[in-house]
Structure 1
Amino acid sequence: MPRYALQIEYDGRPFCGWQAQAGLPAVQDAIETALARLEPDLPRIAAAGRTDTGVHATGQVAHCDMARDWSPFRLMEALNHHLRPLPVAVRACALADSEFHARFSAHERRYLFRLLTRRAPPTFDAGRVWHIKHKLDLGAMRDAAAHLIGLHDFTTFRASQCQAASPVKTLDALEIALVEGLSGVEIQFRLRARSFLHNQVRSIVGTLERVGAGAWAPEDVKTALEARDRAACGPVSPPDGLYLTGVGYARDPFAG
C-alpha cells in the first residue's frame, strides 16, 4: 500500500482535539471520513501530535496508507473537497517512504502561542488568541523563560493525567516577541522541542503570563521548575492561542 504524508491545518474550536474519541468530533475522524469517501476500509491514520480540545494547527502532519496509487496533488484535492465545510484543510500531500511514520519519525515539534493584550474583546480573532486586558512585561517573561531552556524534569509543567513515560524533556527554544497582528499587538511565544508533555506549552505560557503581570518574579519560575510538583505551576492558559505550526523530520517528505 503506498503511504502518503499529509500536512494539515485546522481550527480546533469545533473539535475535541486530534484523536478520535467515541461520540465526540475529532480532527482524526474528519480526515478518516474524507478518506473513506475515496477508498473504503483503509487503516487508521497517525499524526505527529495529539492536539487537545480547542488547539489549532497550521502544520500538523499525518500519514495514510492507500489501496491504490494516487498522485499527491489529486489526493490532496479530493480530500479537501470531502472535508468541506469543516475548518480542516490538507495544505500539502507527498508520497512517503513505507517506513515513514508521522509520529515516530519526527525529531522536532514547533508550537506557537498567541496572546492578545488589549482592553476590547477580539472579534475576528475570538477563539484564536488568548485575550487578556492588562499589559505584560516582555523582559521579565524572557528572563523567566531562560530558566526553562534545556534538559529538565518538567513535572511541574505537565498535566496530572500525562501518559508520557518520563517528565524529562529538552526544550530547545522558547522565544517571546511582540508582533503587530490583525487585532492589535500580540505577544507570541514560539517553542521548539523533540516532543512535549501533555499541557506543557499551556502550563509554561500560563506561568509566564503571571511573571509578565508582576505576580511572579522571573526566579519564581526556576523555583517552580525545581520543585518537580504540579502544584507549583502557575495557571494553565486556555487552548485558544495554541497552534502546532510544524514538525521536523530527518527526511522531510514535503521537501522539493
Structure 2
Amino acid sequence: MTIDINNEWYVDFFSGLNCEMWEKATTTEWTQQEVDFLIDTLTIKPGDHILDVPCGFGRHTLELAKRGFTMTGIDISADYIQKLNEQVEAEHLPVQVILGDILTTKLERFFDGAYCLGNSFGYVDYAGITAFVKNVSDALTPGARFVINSGMVAESILPNFPKTGHYVLGDLIMDIRNAYVVGESYMATELTYTKGGRSETHSFKHHVYTLSEIKRLLARYGLRTIAVYNSTEKLDYQLGDQQMYLVAEKQAIR
C-alpha cells in the first residue's frame, strides 16, 4: 500500500464519519473506568486543575468535571470542540475549552495533573512529540503527574502488526488498511467508512516509539516514569500487550 500522508494530517482528520466512528466506539462504562484510573494514578482531588490533551469530544473531560474537577481541554478538531462547548455550556460545567494545537498553544496556567489518552501520543514526529512533552511538562506543578495511554508503542503494535481490519458499529462500517514504513518508523493507515450510500476515506500516519524512547524523552523534561501498566486494572505492561498506560511525575527543580 502506498499512501502519501503529510505530517500535519491530524489538522483536518477528525471530521465527518471519522468523528462519528470514534464516538460510537466508546462506551459510558469504559469512560468511567478510565476516569476512575486517572483519579487514582494522578492522585488528584476535586477542585484540582487538570489538563486533557488532546481532549477529542471530551468524554473524559466531561466526566471529570461532573466529579468536581476543574478541567481544560485542548483539541485541534473544530467539530469536536464545538460539540464539547455546547455540552459544557448546557450543563454549566467547570471546563475551559480551547481550539488549538498543543504544539503551538501557550498554556496560561499550571495544572495539578494531565493526561493524553487514546493513541494520540504518536500523532507527530520526534520533533513534534518533543515539543508536546516540553509544553505539558512546563504546565505542570512539581509533583503533578502525567498519564499517557497508547496501543501504538512499538512493544504493542509490532509483535502482531495488523495489516487489515473490519469493524461494524451499528450502521457504520469501517475498513482498515495498514502499512509500516520501516525507514521512518511509522504506520500508514487508510480508513474507509461506509454508512448507507455514503462513503468517506481518511488517511493518517502514526509514529511508533519504543517504551524506552518515551521514558527517556519524558525524563529529559523532568517527568520521571513511576509505573507502566497494560490496563486500567494496573497490571504490569509486557511485550505484546494491546495497551500501555504510563504514569510519570513532574520532578521539583533543585
Shorter-chain TM range is under 0.3
TM-score if structure 1 supplies the norm length? 0.26
TM-score if structure 2 supplies the norm length? 0.26
More helix by share: 2
1 or 2 for the larger relative contact order (CA 8 Å, sep ≥6)? 1
